[in-house]
Amino acid sequence: MPSKMTVALSLDDESSEIWNGLPRGERSQYVRESMKEIDLVRVQEDLIRKLRARLDAAEKKIKDMKLWGLHQ
């Protein structure tokens, strides 16, 4: 597939080493796959944040119940 857009990257040494290790004709494919995977990671991170918020709320509720002597 011909390139439609040119992108300039500024990479640290480790990233540059990885980039240079990719075959030139396959770099776009690796970038596409990585962008798809990052979407999955973001969805998972969002779910984890929501679960942590629910856990924090539950822990606060339990603490409050103990303070008020409402636990059994």
CB 62 within 8 A of CB 71: yes
Query: For each of the chain's 72 residues, which pLDDT tens digit applies?
Result: 666 788 888 999 999 999 999 998 898 899 889 888 998 999 999 999 999 999 999 999 999 888 888 765
**What span, in angstroms and rounded, lies between the C-alpha atoms of 9 and 22?**
15
What is the pTM assigned to this prediction? 0.53
Backbone angles phi, psi at 10, to 5 degrees: -120, 110
Residues near 22 by beta carbon (within 8 Å), at least 6 away in sequence:
30
User: Cα–Cα distance between 45 and 42 in angstroms, integer?
Assistant: 5
Would residue 69 be called left, alpha or beta, if left means φ above 0 and alpha means ψ between -120 and 50 degrees?
left
